[in-house]
Amino acid sequence: MPPPAQWTAIRWIDLAVILAYLAGITWFGSRFRSSQRTLRDYFLGGKTIPWWAIALSIVSAETSTLTVIGTPPLAFRGNYAFLQLVLGYLLARVVIAALFLPAYFRGEMYTAYELMQRRFGERIRRLTAGAFLILRALAEGVRVFAVSIVLSIILGAGETVSIAVILCLTLFYTYEGGLTAVIWTDVVQMALYIAGALVSLALLLHQIPGGWGHVAAVAGPLGKLQVFDFELAAPAAFFTRTYSFWAGILGGCFLTTASHGTEQLLVQRLLAARTRGQSQAALFASWIVIVTQFTLFLVIGTCLFVLYRERNLPAPAVLDRLYPLYVWQNLPAGVAGLVMAAILAAAMSNLSAALNALASTTVLDLWKPLARRPVDELEWLRRARHATVFWGAILFGVALLARQWGNVLQAGLSIASIVYGSLLGVFLLGLLTKRVGEIAAMCGMAVGLALMLYVRFATPIAFTWYVMIGAGATFVTGILGSFIIKEKHA
């Protein structure tokens, strides 16, 4: 990749498209500042946002640049087995709609962890909120780093500068417009990166003689179009296979129940709906978009496999560079810039969601309950914006560390899954039991987290099983602890 000084006029056209997009989306998001007068406005969008916009925002928060650049390599080196995980996502949505949302809509809540306070007490609210902050900071750091892969291809170098540019632009409109800005910019950015993927797929098929028919003829006999894997391996191998049908259904269900049912990043969007019915509609509509999106990027990966195979091209040393490298080197002037802007859009939409969720948990679950004197709403709004800036700085530091953590998609999912298990387990204790008290629940969380750290660093168990194992350990420990620890419970 030549340095910017040697770029042709064509490259400058692409860069101009990218810069125009970045400037435009930042301006668009910042325009929502005038509607932010209270914490309800800043963190729940005033509960005036339509369900379909929330659905698209859920998808943007659920996926990111990890999806855009991390999914094609899964099909390039494997097949479509990843889609089995998405089937688990649907089952999880049924569980959330039936079990979690009724509890969340009993009165007005701002964060997921208020539910834990109502059921157990203030200490477990702080513990679950703290677990989320750690989880999201680490997982989001991987996603922010993924942006630098894209920008380093565009600029030729400079991961640190690339991370800083995207982070500052996203931070600006999130700081100004709160959740309202986050959701409406998500809608724009979601449309853009799906459109970008469709354009790149069309051009890919045009470059392959015979189009999709030829792709299927080459990839099919090699097993690269396979979705389902029903093999029941020996117990030792069963839990080490990442993308089997059983890992997808069970692992995907537990993973999504944890992320959409207990993590503020996504619960915040569900709480922003006008009614529980609209929240449920947004949740299920988001699954339709998710399965379409993952299929699209897997198909792109298959097409890239066939193109590289037939042209005898060497695959990139880092497969996460596969799709953005193809876009930047092969698409026509202006179109390449548009698709790269679309990839950056995915990053910015997820990053803005994380910043707002981290700030809401910090202010509402940790800071505000400790306030010793009354503080007016405008002062809390100012503090919420300061918390947003604070977390922007933290994510910058984590992103710099994330460069050594391997494949970005699986790294992001596996890091999150370590903490998700204990979070989901304690929420299930709160929703499904009556006898378990706060101390027993906290003991369950501690055991679940300790077990997951052991599983992650000392066993070959696949990350798709992490949440189920962690949630089970937390739930069982909490139940057993309730027989030993005598305390008042709900």
Rounded mean pLDDT of the chain?
A: 82
**Residue 248 in contact with residue 87, Cβ under 8 Å?**
yes
As a whole number of angstroms, the distance between CA 366 and CA 426 comes to 18
Q: Sorting pLDDT into bands at 50, 70 and 90, what band is 26?
A: confident
In a domain, 52, yes or no: yes
Mean pLDDT for 198-203 is: 88
pLDDT over threshold 90, residue 99: yes
Burial 25-40 (b: 16+ CB within 10 A, else e): bbebbbebeeebeebb
Residue 9 pLDDT more than 70?
no
**Residue 154 confidence (pLDDT):** 67
| Average pLDDT of span 351-363 | 85
Question: What confidence tier does 132 reach under pLDDT thresholds 50, 70, 90?
Answer: confident
What's the mean pLDDT in 482-487? 84
Burial of 312 (0-12, 13-18, 19+ CB in 10 A): exposed
With respect to residue 178, please indicate whether it lies within any of the assigned structural domains.
yes
471 touches 254 (CB < 8 A): yes
- Residue 106 belongs to a domain: yes
Report whether pLDDT(30) > 50.
yes
pLDDT at 406 over 70: no
**Whether the predicted pLDDT of 364 surpasses 80:** yes
User: Is it the case that residue 227 has pLDDT exceeding 60?
Assistant: yes
Question: How high is the pLDDT of residue 232?
Answer: 66
Pick 444 or 194 by higher pLDDT: 444
Please check whether residue 253 lies inside any domain of the structure.
Answer: yes
Output the pLDDT for position 21: 82
Confidence label for 13 from pLDDT (cuts 50, 70 and 90)? confident
Burial string for 117-132 (b: 16+ CB within 10 Å, else e) reads bebbbeebbbbbbebb
Query: Who has greater pLDDT, 37 or 203?
Result: 203
- What integer pLDDT is reported at residue 5 of this predicted model? 46
> Does the pLDDT at position 337 exceed 90?
no
Q: What percent of the chain has pLDDT over 70?
A: 88
- What's residue 6's pLDDT? 44
Mean pLDDT of 198-206: 88
Res 3 pLDDT > 60 = no
Residue 249 vs residue 65, higher pLDDT: 249
User: Tens of pLDDT along 410-427?
Assistant: 555 566 677 888 999 999
Counting the structural domains of the chain, the total is 1
pLDDT at 299 over 90: yes
- Is residue 319 one of the residues assigned to a domain? yes
Is residue 59 predicted with pLDDT exceeding 80? Answer: yes
The CATH number linked to 128 is 1.20.1730.10
Residue range 159-170, pLDDT digits in tens: 677 777 778 878
- Domain range for 113 is 4-401
Lowest mean pLDDT across 156-160, 169-173, 195-199, 230-234: 156-160
Q: What pLDDT is attached to residue 159? A: 64
Q: What is the pLDDT of residue 1?
A: 40
Comparing 144-153, 173-182, 310-319, 445-454, the range with the smallest average pLDDT is: 144-153
For position 408, what pLDDT does the model report? Answer: 47
Provide the 10 A C-beta neighbour count for residue 209: 7
Closest by alpha carbon to 270, among 117, 154, 99? 99
Q: What pLDDT sits at residue 480?
A: 94
Q: How far apart are CA 71 and CA 54, in angstroms?
A: 24
Q: Does residue 232 belong to any structural domain of this protein? A: yes
pLDDT tens figures, 244-283: 788 788 888 998 999 899 888 888 889 889 899 999 999 9
Mean pLDDT of the region 348-358? 80
Position 147 in a domain: yes
pLDDT of residue 222 exceeding 60 = yes
Kindly state whether residue 363 falls inside one of the protein's structural domains: yes
Neighbours of 21 (CB within 10 A): 21
